[in-house]
Structure 1
Amino acid sequence: MRPPNQHLHLGHLLANQVGTEVEFEVGGDLFSAHKCILASQSTAEFFGQAGKGSCADRRHGAEVFKALLHFIYTDALLEVHEEDKIVMAQGLLVMADRYAMERLKLICADMLCSYINDARTAITTLDLADKHGCRRLREACKKFLTDNFARVGP
């Protein structure tokens, strides 16, 4: 029996934009999507005013939004350069919180936990965790700061 490949079919739908009903303008780029697929992954209002067919999202960069759509369609994260992983995970966490995508939020929080290795990162990540209700990420930041107080303290 072949392994499931539904994610490949959905990824193909996203790439070819066949039958899309909604558009998002993000950072000057236009993204098309399928309402039913968005709705299947998010309980939040994803379609702007009453599902009008387009939405301008200026709060997040186009690359982060592209990664969000990729995750929605394929249940996988886009590959990014190592130096972009923290920023991508932060942006995706914010969007996952906004669109009530708990699984993506947990994945991003786990990724960010692995990058807590200095005081600056711990403090900025702690702020992000507080703003978006990521208890486990918050605790990881606090633990790092507590364990390393002698190094990062006054």
Structure 2
Amino acid sequence: MSGTSGTPMDRQFFFNLVSAYGADPKRWPLEHREQATGFAQTEEGRRMILEATGLDAALSSYRLPDPSARLHARILAQASSRTTRRKRLVRYGLGAGMIGISLAGALTGALAVINLSPPPALTLGDTLTAFGNLQSESEIAEDGK
């Protein structure tokens, strides 16, 4: 079934090759071309080539009609609207990016000021400790009199 070199090509493989690539041997894969050319010399091969030639000619002669002016205008209108949307997205996206970068810079600056500025001076009274006052409020008030 395979068309590797050294083995003769069978009918089904040649039929599949001609069906897929057409009647022109230049289109056939290089690894199968030599054996396919040999099989094409047989009567059955010539018949398959003749059928494929008719199909190739029909496919080659087919031409697509030119697009209408209305279709052309619609395509151009859609292209310009997509371009406009893309420009708008880029413009707003860049603006949002600049705002984000600015906010990140402001936050970084605020954190730097908070962390790098010295703490405010803490004035401790004579009776203030880390655990509270050594004297009660009433004792402090009496001492002040």
TM-score, structure 1 length as denominator?
A: 0.22
TM-score, structure 2 length as denominator?
A: 0.23
- More strand per residue: 1
Greater length-normalized contact order (CA 8 Å, ≥ 6 residues apart): 1
